[in-house]
Chain A
């Protein structure tokens, strides 16, 4: 029992430690700005680690970008302006949800296209099989006895 308590105590302190390591800045004064800040940092890719957002990452570049976004929000820039700022410097890859434009259209439409292709194939197979005569099932009694 004591070991369990000790172990969970250690785990708990480790958990708070990591939370502290990622975001130790205090919240922005304006709650609306803080909400935008949280949303943005969870949507911007850290290009050093690439599969993390800058909110998740402790890479120095992620820390710098969080600071930059915070300063831009405090200076009254809008979410769109900040996104454009990042896109102009780091390219479309920096946003986890890329904007709808010519070179991302295929990316956005691919799930729909694949569903249509798969669904169309399925529909054709079902139609073809529905037209076949129904075979007698194994367990059926013989028609005449």
Chain B
């Protein structure tokens, strides 16, 4: 009896492990920043390099930090969604323009529309390392106290917004824990 049951159980267990693994994205790396204070940064602004975008600009309200570049096709893909969110979402979106040519970035915003409350220019990628960014587009949800509440790696979609961001935003605003 056991001679057949044990190998059968081991086989079923292996099948279950592989079946779960099949539907998980091996490229996804969870961010250790979630639940921690957003990193300090200070970047020259895209529209006016004399001004800066810094961590303190994010405080006092729920905000999004979106890492993008004109070289990134996923960023082009999510751009319309960001425009919609900027119009209807009621949440400021701050951009970090990652390893990009500022002239191209300005042109991109002129042609496609500008969803950002402000964009900081991270030409060398130092700030992106502080934020643990490894693949654009990445979108962080930041609480009023500067805590990183969530990170989405991949183009933003309205589905992701509804299912992952909105519940956390409501929780952050009502002060309850999710």
Q: Which residues of A contact B (CB under 8 A)?
A: 47-48, 50, 60-61, 64-65, 68, 87-93
User: Which residues in B have their C-beta under 8 angstroms from that of A93?
Assistant: 29
The answer to whether A64 and B129 touch across the interface, beta carbons within 8 angstroms, is yes
Chain B 147-158, CB-CB to A under 8 Å as 1, else 0, gives 000000000000
A-B contact count (CB 8 A): 42
The answer to whether A89 and B32 touch across the interface, beta carbons within 8 angstroms, is yes
The answer to whether A65 and B129 touch across the interface, beta carbons within 8 angstroms, is yes
B134: Cβ under 8 A from any A Cβ:
yes
Q: 3 shortest A-B CB distances, which residue pairs?
A: A89-B132, A47-B134, A64-B125
The answer to whether A64 and B134 touch across the interface, beta carbons within 8 angstroms, is no
User: Which residues in A have their C-beta under 8 angstroms from that of B31?
Assistant: 91
Question: Which B21-62 residues have C-beta < 8 A from chain A?
Answer: 26-27, 29-33, 39
The answer to whether B126 and A68 touch across the interface, beta carbons within 8 angstroms, is yes
Are A64 and B32 also in contact (CB < 8 A) when A50-B26, A90-B134 are?
A: no
The answer to whether B32 and A60 touch across the interface, beta carbons within 8 angstroms, is no
User: Which residues in A have their C-beta under 8 angstroms from that of B39?
Assistant: 89
Minimum CB distance partner of A47 in chain B: B134
Q: How far is the CA of A50 from the CA of B126 in the complex (A)?
A: 20
User: Which residues in A have their C-beta under 8 angstroms from that of B134?
Assistant: 47-48, 61, 90
User: Which residues in B have their C-beta under 8 angstroms from that of A68?
Assistant: 126, 129
B82: Cβ under 8 A from any A Cβ:
no
Main secondary structure of the interface of A (DSSP, over half): helix
Question: Which B119-158 residues have C-beta < 8 A from chain A?
Answer: 124-126, 128-132, 134-135
Q: How far is the CA of A93 from the CA of B28 in the complex (A)?
A: 10
Q: How far is the CB of B61 from chain A (nearest CB, A)?
A: 25
Minimum CB distance partner of A61 in chain B: B134
Minimum CB distance partner of B29 in chain A: A93
Minimum CB distance partner of A64 in chain B: B125
The answer to whether B125 and A60 touch across the interface, beta carbons within 8 angstroms, is yes
User: Which residues in A have their C-beta under 8 angstroms from that of B135?
Assistant: 47-48
B99: Cβ under 8 A from any A Cβ:
yes
The answer to whether A90 and B29 touch across the interface, beta carbons within 8 angstroms, is yes
The answer to whether A89 and B131 touch across the interface, beta carbons within 8 angstroms, is yes
The answer to whether A89 and B33 touch across the interface, beta carbons within 8 angstroms, is yes
Q: How far is the CB of B117 from chain A (nearest CB, A)?
A: 25
Q: How far is the CB of A76 from chain B (nearest CB, A)?
A: 18
Q: How far is the CA of A76 from the CA of B161 in the complex (A)?
A: 43
Q: How far is the CA of A130 from the CA of B31 in the complex (A)?
A: 55
Q: How far is the CA of A60 from the CA of B126 in the complex (A)?
A: 12
Are A90 and B125 also in contact (CB < 8 A) when A47-B29, A50-B26, A50-B27 are?
A: no
Q: How far is the CB of A84 from chain B (nearest CB, A)?
A: 11
Q: How far is the CA of A90 from the CA of B32 in the complex (A)?
A: 6
